Amino acid sequence: MVDRKSGRCIATSSWESDEAMRASEESIRPMRDQAAELFGGSAQVEEWEIAAMHREHRSSEGACVRATWVNVDPDQLDGGIDFYKTTILPALEELEGFCSASLLVDRASGRGVAAATFDNAEAIERNKDQLDRMRATGSQQANAEVLDQCDFELAVAHLRVPELV
């Protein structure tokens, strides 16, 4: 995911297990460092659990992602995940141009990031009011503090994660 205006870029990878991810650390590090050098930045590595993953349809060229980072009391994280799956996902599915959504969490810190992919930037703009209401309702219901929100171009879509809803 890239935000060409700010220069922010997020690259993700997924692993079958925590053990597989740990075993790959040494072989992945040179590729990550080279990518950071090519982009003229630095790499920040974060580890997340995939709490929910849903695809309505595959994204195509021009797809865009709205990502929202939140913080919640770790003891309330499971309730927040359930709310996302039972309320936010069905509401997202109703929006024109919706492709997919995911929720990633860090159980120890209570941080999470919810990402919704749409066919294009225009679809995000058309759904802006509904997305804003979902963010406000979701953060209130889950007692979550919204830390950041950013819209990205989906530059490469090749993550192969099964449906997790």
As a whole number, mean pLDDT of residues 14-24 equals: 89
Domain assignment present for 103: yes
List Cβ neighbours of 37 (8 Å cut-off, separation of 6 or more). Answer: none
- What CATH number has the domain bearing residue 102? 3.30.70.100
**The predicted structure's pLDDT at residue 159:** 56
Say what the pLDDT of residue 41 is.
83
Q: Is residue 132 classed as helix, strand or coil in its secondary structure?
A: helix
Q: What is the pLDDT of residue 120?
A: 96
Residue 89 lies in a domain: yes
Go through the chain and tell me how many residues it has: 165
**What residue has token string 């630095």?**
42
Given a cut of 70, whether residue 127 has pLDDT beyond it is yes
Q: How confident is the model at residue 141 (pLDDT cuts 50, 70, 90)?
A: confident
Determine the pLDDT at residue 13.
Answer: 82
Residue 165 lies in a domain: no
- The pLDDT tens digits of the residues spanning 22-79 come to 999 899 889 888 888 888 888 888 999 999 999 988 888 899 999 999 999 999 999 9
Query: Is 26 within a domain?
Result: no
Q: The sheet that has 145-153: what strands, in order across it? A: 8-9, 2-3, 145-153, 64-71, 111-118, 98-106, 49-55
Contact by Cβ (8 Å): 44, 10? no
| 60 inside domain | yes
d(CA 129, CA 149): 14
pLDDT at 2 exceeding the cut of 60: yes
Asked if residue 90 belongs to a domain, the reply is: yes
Quote the pLDDT of residue 161: 53
Which domain covers residue 91, as residue numbers?
48-153
How many domains are contained in the chain? 1
pLDDT of residue 119 exceeding 90: yes
32 within a domain of the structure (yes/no): no
Q: Is 143 helix (H, G, I), strand (E, B) or coil?
A: coil
Condensed to tens digits (0 to 9), the pLDDT of residues 86-116 reads 999 999 999 999 999 999 999 999 999 999 9
What is the C-alpha separation between 75 and 151, in angstroms, rounded?
29
Amino acid in the structure at residue 153:
E
Q: Is 35 part of a structural domain of the chain?
A: no
* Residue 162 reports pLDDT greater than 90: no
